[in-house]
Amino acid sequence: MSKLKISFTALLTLILVSFFAAMASAEEPFVPTPSNPAPGINVGTVDNNGNVATHRTHGNFQNNTNSCGNCHSTHNGDSATLLKFEETEADLCLTCHDGTLGFYNVEKNSGAGVFNSTHDSASMHNVGTVAIGSAPGALTANEEELQCSSCHNPHGSTNDRLLKTTVNGKTYSTVAIDLELVEDPAFADFNASTGPTGLKIYQSKGPKFVNENREDVPQRVYSDFCATCHDDYLKSSGDQRADGHYTHTTDSYKAGRNCASCHYAHGTDITLLKDTAGKTVADYVRTGWTQEKAEAYMKDVSAGGSAIKKYTNMTVCWACHQTTHKIDTPPVAGGNYSGKPTR
């Protein structure tokens, strides 16, 4: 009997020790390293030339890559393409791009906008829930669901940000889309550690136009990209659409005018919206406004919603079409008619 009691006591002790060890282990924070920047993400640290350089995850793989296994399972894939699907394709992408990987978080403000419905005035491309053919201005009936891969090629592209060269069955341009990319200062140490050929973390400021020569750098190429789904919106000034309406021009090459001048590709919310002076809610809070006052000022109250705009309400028009003359009408309390700062 005493032996049984001792054995039971030993077993209970072992269970408790294991439980607390597991609890302690679970509480330990994940520490990213160059070879394991996020849970389940494994990359090499030596490139084909023997130099220290972190593998690229989506393309230009090195000869000793381990990146394929981050998305594919050779014998246990959940799809015919051996993908490790979650619920949807978007869920697979979000296993990294929800901030888990530490960068390129599509649920956080970026040059492409944000997939975020938790803030006021939020609107976005509803990935995984809408048909491609339901896009405003769509002339093609396509019942396929809008997915991340509708616009991005996960294996790489000649365009920045893995933008596809053929979208919705249409090859829109032979000229690459170049974005204004700068190294993200928040990842300066990481960028310095990956070497000249390794993965770099960049911030995007939107499409880049290096000159005004329409033949060398077509300013319309980004709008052509969007028009693969929103095809009836690709019009020049004065051209009538198929439904009889007219649309703002998207090929004003001298001004670099394109869809991304007024809209975010992913979406917008109250934290991203700007007024005609280019100021955000955060800018006004820094000047002394309360958060509530700043958000009430910036809230988009348009009947059709914020429509993934960069500028609140119809400020999107006033941001460009400003008079050069001072308006005599006195401003409302706390407001002004100063417009954008002089460049």
DSSP string covering 244-282:
S-B---S--GGGT--GGGTB-SSEE-TTT-B-TTS--HH
Instruction: Give the model's pLDDT for residue 192.
Output: 84
Residues 6+ away with beta carbon under 8 Å from 27: none
Backbone phi and psi for residue 69, each to the nearest 5 degrees, phi listed first: -70, -10
Looking up tokens 């394929």 gives: 68
Q: Tell how far CA 246 is from the center of its chain.
A: 29
- Of 20-24, 36-40, 223-227, 307-311, which has the strongest mean pLDDT? 307-311
Compute the mean pLDDT over every residue in the chain, rounded to the nearest whole number.
81
Please report the sign of the dihedral spanned by the C-alpha atoms of residue 161, residue 206, residue 270, residue 315.
negative
Confirm if 54 and 199 have CB atoms less than 8 A apart: yes
pLDDT digits (tens, 9 = 90+) for 274-328: 998 889 999 999 999 999 999 999 999 998 899 999 999 998 888 777 765 556 6
Q: Can you give the pTM of this predicted structure? A: 0.81
What is the signed CA dihedral for 205, 211, 216, 220, rounded to 10 degrees? 50
pLDDT (tens digit per residue) in 42-65? 778 888 888 888 778 888 888 888
**DSSP character string of 154-184:** TT--SSGGGB-SEETTEE--SSPP-EEEEE-
- The residues near 304 (Cβ < 8 Å, ≥ 6 apart) are none
Give strand pairing partners of 170: 167
Q: What is the pLDDT of residues 80-106, one digit of tens each?
A: 889 887 678 888 898 889 887 767 889
- Choice among 166-175, 276-285, 324-333 with the minimum mean pLDDT: 324-333
Q: What is the pLDDT of residues 197-256, one digit of tens each?
A: 777 888 887 777 654 444 445 567 888 899 999 999 988 878 899 989 998 887 665 555
Distance CA 32, CA 117 (A): 29
Beta carbons within 8 Å of 58's beta carbon, 6+ residues apart? 67, 154, 155, 156, 162
CB 172 within 8 A of CB 264: no
